[in-house]
Structure 1
Amino acid sequence: MGLITLLSGNKSENLFLPAHGRGNSLPKKLRKLLKLRPGIWDLPELFEIGGPLIGEGAVAESQKSSASEVGVDRCWYGVNGATGLLQSSLLALARPGQAVLMPRNIHKSCIQACLFGGLTPILFDVPFLSDRGHAYIFDRSWLQRVFIKAKELEEDIAAVVLVNPSYQGYSADMEPLIKEVHSHSLPVLVDEAHGGYLVSQIRADLPKSALTLGADLVVHSLHKSAPGLVQSAVLWSQGDKVDPFKIERSIELLQTSSPSSLLLASCESSIKELIEPKGQKKLNARIEEAESLSEFLISHDVPLLQNSDPLRLILHTSKYGLSGIEVDKKFIDKRIIGELAEPGTLTFCLGFSSHKGLKKKFVRVWNEILKSSNSQQKFSLFKRPPFNVVSKPLNPCSSSWGSNFESVSLKESIGRISVDMVCPYPPGIPLLVPGEVLDKARVDWLVEQRCFWPDQISDFVRVIS
């Protein structure tokens, strides 16, 4: 089957990203644009259009308007996803040789930025939910303990990165965390890729965006948590802790010099959809529909886990001794396609589309899976990762990644230094980064993880020769 043929199909329940649901909930103006003569929107940085780093033109005016409407100082549209803007942010925050404090459930793009930026990632452990195998949220006292341990490493820490909400939709109380970082006179970057729609502030019971709580830099993926096209993203900046010139210089280093006009238009339209009354009305309707769906499924004994994002459903497959990865395949066979299959769960992203016919179909498919599985396996807890409260790679990431290497089996790698980043994707959370030592506890844990992620974690690892 050719790629174009595959892309043309649309006969499934689309419970995966991008959040526009295969075009069903794209902003009205963007839909109109796409209905015009094909390719009419494929334009370069013409004088009237400009680009994210050009001071004049439609893009510059749009960015100024978006920043003003959201209530921040500056913003930059991105065409390389949240990845490109997270990496640009890190390079703007720290110089080569400095360190950045970040949680273990950081996205791999931030480790990559450390790798080519000559930065040291100081990684801190986070709470772990053993019943499902997920990293979880933490509070200010946890972060205070992290700072105490981080000082013992005697590194020049330039900034802190926080992740909120998580891929599965867990959200922390960000205000005290941001205040704690600022109490150490450090800027904070929040990877809010999965929380873009929180800027709408349409309901008091939803988590608040870090933008409203004083974060210095916040990155949103506009296709994960807003109705934007894939690769569209935005970086928001406020306050005086980060120099806008450094941000723009870093963006210029990492982003294409020929940004897609279509993606830039998608950035504008998806942000407006979150802050204008008509878009907010649609979003509120989708949230209410999602809550109704969740209540229906729970009332019919579908094991959903609680989170902070009503637009994400977490099916707790391991409660019945089932792998989310295997359950995902069975849902796909029934034309219900989820977003994130993990060993203990399967996460569905409802996005901004309506799914009114889903309730009974979901229950029927789940019951068919339970009946056909005949699983006699008892529920067991997932083993907590053997991470220290705070740690850093023994060798610099960049020099380790570029070193001569040899490939050895995981069981033979004890005491060796990795040149690899071991990272099941999605969700893109590194289990091992270049420069880290493979001690016995880590190796034993990785071997166990390989049993859960057989197609994502190799039995071999590349180490410095």
Structure 2
Amino acid sequence: MNILAIMGAHGVFYKDEPLRELGAALEVQGFQLIYPKNSDDLLKLIEHNPRICGVIFDWDAHDSLLLCSAVNELNEHLPLYAFINTHSQMDVSLNEMRMALHFFEYALNAADDIALHIRQYTDDYLDHITPPLTKALFTYVKEGKYTFCTPGHMGGTAFQKSPVGCLFYDFFGANTLKADISISVTELGSLLDHTGPHLEAEEYVARTFGAEQSYMVTNGTSTANKIVGMYAAAAGSTVLIDRNCHKSLTHLLMMSDITPLWLKPTRNALGILGGIPKYEFTRDSIAQKIATTAGAGWPVHAVITNSTYDGLLYNTQYIKETLDVPSIHFDSAWVPYTRFHPIYEGKSGMSGDRVPGKVIYETQSTHKLLAALSQASMIHIKGDYDEQTFNEAYMMHTTTSPNYAIVASIETAAAMLRGNPGKRLINRSVERALHFRREIQRLREESDSWFFDIWQPEKVDQAECWPIQPGEETWHGFTHADRDHMYLDPIKVTILTPGMSELGVMADEGIPAALVAKYLDQRGIVVEKTGPYNLLFLFSIGIDKTRAMSVLRGLTEFKRGYDLNLRVKNMLPDLYAEDPDFYRNMRIQSLAQGIHQLIRKHDLPRLMLQAFDVLPEMKMTPHKAFQHQVRGNVETVDISQLVGRISANMILPYPPGVPLVMPGEMLTEQSRPVLDFLLMLCTIGRHYPGFETDIHGATLTEEGEYQVRVLKL
């Protein structure tokens, strides 16, 4: 962070010589100097190199006010050092005076003094942009105190007493280990008591994300969801829960003795997760659910997944105003950036003002799409709540030995989003995703045969969240969409492979997406989610042009290999290695069409829609089902015998990654499509080695059979 950009008035001796002296003095201070050729060069350097910590320029040699404004748009805190002489015109407005703008006069033998001032201003700049807990942690590490408390490696010293420990130390580095400290370090405050720099960090995060109160969570949004649920729903109460929930919420239901009422979302024939229809949020709909659910009362809390796994965001204001419950929790694990770009306005839990009589919670996975370490998560709250009771729920799930690097990374992720640099960061992420989308469209239009498609409207000219509207629009495939209710996030990019239309019409030939995912994986490209004929890519702030181009190259190379009908051995060597005898003479087109015809035979679009249309029958709450399991009142059966049995576990096929069967639920003849869908997924793996479906809650035996746990009769 010690790079200075210098733009002088070249060829003017009385100006060049003082700047030459200054350059030498700054190098003594530890600065690295770079020399942009002009203003455009300077602005590009600042935009693409955040390590630049200041700009030195000649006030008279440039359109200085315009230059200052342009730099300010990129980073309003970046120090600017203008050199003037006695004849310089100083028509600086109040607006310019609010910038970090400092003036120096050209003079010989003044370099050391000026360099010292620049060092001080640079230190002030770095201090200003560093958030409170991170600053305190940096300071503690620099002080190098001797501690006689945990952790036992003592800032990495213990690792250096062992050969393998030295390997570990050298890999992770000294500061990482020195920053791994004990909660006994009082000057950093307490994560559990919310004191000192930890409290300052929570307030800093809350201001950044538009919350009234924020909590930092060090075990992911899985834990954040449980904390909110443990506080918001007492034992014996009823809770509305999105059926397309994360499995952490199923675990909450297994831990807490509460009764779930399921909010049933839609999905299209491609298997893309849709949102919960508007009607599901009304009093009439809730009353119907209560009437058909044993032991249910009026719900005290609701949990909505926003966005869906595939990137659909709600008009959250409608939900806040319509749902007649005291508190609403938006599980926004996948969208911690919605406050920082205008296209997401009104589409997040913290959007808008308080809702009278309600508390709004939003949980976000800081690590998923922002710059934070794994397990970094946040809880945001807007509305009145009991802080002491909430903190008891918080402490139930929070370790007394938190990893300070994770906590500091949450705060740093928030700091990165503040001000103009943060807005630019998210805007560039959106623009990069739009550029990628247009490139896929271009390649498809230029292809003389087939190419991959993309799930989006026909025109994606500008940055926006595209509405999922009813009527003539068919691109999204949701036949019963509600107007102005759900919107597609542009940075969640779904690539479509040939074989199925958005309305579920199966083509004679197709390329199942699993083949493409395996091909890309062998080239170092990992897909976020693979559906039957779609691939999901997340364009987070860490995605750059190099990564985006590697995906485009991978897709075009797959098309080339597929059109040449290469052998599986050559095109998918890792798959070939799983069963060389089976794949020895097989070519890629034969493999693709074999799986495609299996999918056609089982009529996947119909099976998939029916499987999520009729829910299994809830015989007992997930909590009671888990208590049976703890007592050992379970047995293992083949998955084909699931009808008529009460499931002990959640059964969740991946993809799509949402529960099909909850603990305590029983499949009946009416809900048999759920089993038919699961059996179809199993069939593909039996026919084609390497394509076994990952079904959470089911165990795949060596004989290739899936077994599940059910309650004993």
Taking a change above 3 Å as real, the CA distance of residues 204 and 396 of structure 1, as seen in their structure-2 partners, is closer
Which residue does the alignment assign to 1:80? 219
Question: Hey, what's the Cα distance between the residues in 2 that align with 1:391 and 1:275?
Answer: 46
Distance 1:270 1:38, change over 3 A: closer
Deviation at 1:405, TM superposition (A): 0.8
The answer to whether structure 1 residue 351 and structure 2 residue 540 are counterparts is: yes
Instruction: Report the secondary structure of 2:533's partner residue.
Output: coil
1:294 pairs with one of 437, 444, 451: 437
Kindly tell me: are residues 25 and 312 of structure 1, through their superposed partners in 2, closer, same or farther at Cα, counting changes over 3 Å?
farther
Which SS does the other structure have where 2:694 is aligned? coil
2:245 aligns to what? 106
Residue ranges of structure 1 left out of the alignment (5+ in a row): 1-23
Shift of 1:366: 4.2
Give the Cα separation in 2 of the matches to 1:351 and 1:426.
Answer: 21
Structure 1 letter corresponding to 2:279: S
Deviations 1:162-207 (A, max 9, x none): 11111111112111012111xx24210000111100021x223666
Q: Secondary structure at the match of 1:129?
A: coil
Quickly say closer, same or farther: Cα 1:190–1:364, change in 2 above 3 A.
same
Distance 1:439 1:447, change over 3 A: same
CA deviation map 1:216-252 (0-9, x unaligned)? 1000000113221110000001112x42223211111
Residues 103 and 126 in structure 1, CA contact (< 8 A), matched pair in contact too: yes
Kindly state the Cα deviation for residue 141 of structure 1 after the two structures are TM-superposed: 2.7
The corresponding residue for 1:21 is none
Query: Is the Cα contact below 8 Å between 2:651 and 2:661 reproduced in 1?
Result: yes
* 1:281 pairs with one of 424, 446, 466: 424
Q: Which amino acid aligns with 2:409?
A: S
Deviation at 1:40, TM superposition (A): 1.4
Matched AA of 2:200:
E
Counterpart of 1:365? 557
Supply the AA of the counterpart residue of 1:245.
Q
SS in structure 1 of the partner of residue 536 of structure 2:
strand
User: Which residue of 373, 383, 399 corresponds with 1:256?
Assistant: 399
State which structure, 1 or 2, has the greater radius of gyration over its C-alpha atoms.
2
Q: Deviations over 1:74-104 (max 9, x none)?
A: 1100001000010110010111111211111
- Aligned position for 2:368: 224
Instruction: Pick 1 or 2: higher relative contact order, CA cutoff 8 A, min separation 6.
Output: 1
When structure 1 is superposed on structure 2, of 345-354 and 186-195 the one drifting more is 345-354
What's the CA shift for 1:43?
1.2
Alignment of 1:199 with 2:342, yes or no, is no
**AA at the equivalent of 2:327:** P
Counterpart selection for 1:324 from 496, 505, 513: 513
Number of aligned residue pairs: give it: 437
Q: Which aligned pairs between 1:15-26 and structure 2 lie closer than 5 A?
A: none
What is the rounded CA distance, in whole Å, between the counterparts of 2:533 and 2:391 in structure 1?
Answer: 41
**1:303 aligned partner:** 453
Alignment correspondent of 1:168? 310
Counterparts of 1:400 and 1:114, CA distance in 2? 10
Q: Distance in 1 between matches of 2:614 and 2:285?
A: 7
Q: Classify 1:450/1:389 alpha carbon distance in 2 versus 1 (closer, same or farther; 3 Å).
A: closer
Task: Give 3-state SS (helix, strand or coil) of 1:291's partner.
Answer: helix
Mapped to 1, the partners of 2:239 and 2:367 lie a distance apart of: 27
- State whether residues 334 and 365 of structure 1, in contact with CA within 8 Å, keep that contact through their aligned partners in structure 2: no
Q: CA deviation at 1:36?
A: 5.6
Equivalent residues of 2:371, 2:413 under 8 A apart:
yes
**2:597 is the alignment partner of 1:455:** no
Indicate yes or no: 2:329 matched with 1:189.
yes
Q: Take 1:49 and 1:427, find their aligned partners in 2: how far apart are those partners?
A: 42
After superposition, the Cα gap between the structure-2 partners of 1:433 and 1:269, relative to the gap in structure 1 and judged at 3 Å, is same
Residue 158 of structure 1 is matched in structure 2 by 300
Residues 434-443 or 82-91, more deviating: 434-443
The letter for the 2-side match of 1:401 is F
**TM-score for the superposition, normalised by structure 1:** 0.86
| Deviation of the 1:425 alpha carbon | 4.5
Question: 2:651 aligns to what?
Answer: 422
The one-letter code matched in structure 1 to 2:233 is: A
AA in 2 matched with 1:106:
C
SS of corresponding position for 1:101: strand
Structure 1 residues 370 and 275, CA gap change in structure 2 (3 angstroms): farther
Summarize the Cα distance change of 1:179–1:389 in structure 2 as closer, same or farther, 3 Å threshold: farther
Flag the 1:243–1:424 CA change in 2: closer, same or farther, 3 A.
farther
Distance in 2 separating the partners of 1:412 and 1:209: 42
Q: Tell me the amino acid that sits aligned with residue 556 of structure 2.
A: R
Contact 1:104/1:123 (8 A) holds in 2: yes
The answer on 1:384 being equivalent to 2:527 is: no
Read off the aligned partner of 1:115 and give its amino acid letter.
M
2 CA distance for matches of 1:330 and 1:146? 45
Amino acid at match of 1:219: T
AA at the equivalent of 2:489? D
CA distance in 2, matches of 1:363, 1:109: 34
Aligned residue in 1 for 2:462: none
SS in 2 for 1:133: coil
Q: Take 2:226 and 2:263, find their aligned partners in 1: how far apart are those partners?
A: 19
Q: Give, in whole Å, the separation in 2 of the partners of 1:69 and 1:287.
A: 20
Question: 321, 327, 341: which one pairs with 1:179?
Answer: 321
Distance (Å, rounded) in 2 between the aligned partners of 1:73 and 1:120 = 29
Matched position secondary structure for 1:193: coil
Cα separation, 1, equivalents of 2:173 and 2:202: 25
Question: How does 1:70-149 map onto structure 2 within 5 Å?
Answer: 70-130=209-269, 132-144=270-282, 146-149=285-288
Shift of 1:279: 2.3
Residue in structure 1 matched with residue 381 of structure 2 by the alignment = 237
| Identical pairs, percent | 21
Matched, 1:407 2:636: yes
- What one-letter code is carried by the residue in structure 2 that aligns with 1:155? A
Give the equivalent residue in structure 2 for 1:4.
none
The answer as to whether partners of 1:161 and 1:189 remain within 8 angstroms in 2 is yes
Asked if 1 retains the 8 angstrom alpha-carbon contact of 2:338 and 2:344, the reply is: no
State the shift of 1:450 in Å. Answer: 4.2
Indicate if the aligned counterparts of 1:124 and 1:390 stay in contact, CA closer than 8 A: no
Aligned in 2, Cα 1:450/1:115: closer, same or farther, shift over 3 Å? same
Distance 2:280 2:557 in 1: 41
